[in-house]
Amino acid sequence: MKLEEAIKSSNFASEKHKATLNVLYSAYWLKTQLSSALKDMGLTTEQFNVMRILKGKHPEKMCVKDIGNRMIEQNSNVPRIIDRLLIKNLVKRVTSPTDKRETLISLSDVGLKQLEAANQVLNTVTDKVIDLSEADAALLNAILENMRVSDELLVKQNKSNKKNKQL
């Protein structure tokens, strides 16, 4: 569906403005598709993201702060998400042996199985709703990553400005 049809407007200040709205609309659309599939499994996209992050370090444990730093949505309430995963027995929580203030999280055996099943479901949904060739997907990835380069430059500039102020 064209963006103009979806938002019932064709009044854009520029192609960049339209592209911005198109990226936002597409992100919410895709999240809705994925959320619907995960809901049937009793998971949210944020819970799935936490489990995916933990799987990347499995069998090592991760602290809550490190999980939060890897989240797709940086404003997610990671402790609350982990509490919900604990209730479902999908993760395990232990106190760090080196720092009693730190909590370490890992996937449980049930969590590993649930994540594997969720990955299969999401792969099927993704293949169904993202009708792109591998070449087009690679091009889209390059465009989106190029779009975020300015963010990396701003972060570096802010760090440099802070360092100069300290001198």
Q: pLDDT by residue (tens digit) across 41-86?
A: 999 999 999 999 999 999 999 999 999 999 988 877 999 999 999 9
Q: How far apart are CA 74 and CA 82, in angstroms?
A: 15
Residue type, 91: V
Please say if the pLDDT value at position 165 is more than 80: no
> Long-range contact list for 109-112, CB < 8 A, 24+ apart?
111/51, 111/54, 111/85, 112/55, 112/58
Classify domain 15-131 by CATH architecture.
Orthogonal Bundle (1.10)
User: What does the pLDDT read at residue 137?
Assistant: 93
Pairing between β-strand 103-107 and β-strand 91-95 as defined by DSSP bridges: antiparallel
Q: pLDDT by residue (tens digit) across 110-158?
A: 999 999 999 999 999 999 999 999 999 999 999 999 988 877 666 666 6
User: What does the pLDDT read at residue 156?
Assistant: 67
Q: pLDDT by residue (tens digit) across 15-33?
A: 999 999 999 999 999 999 9
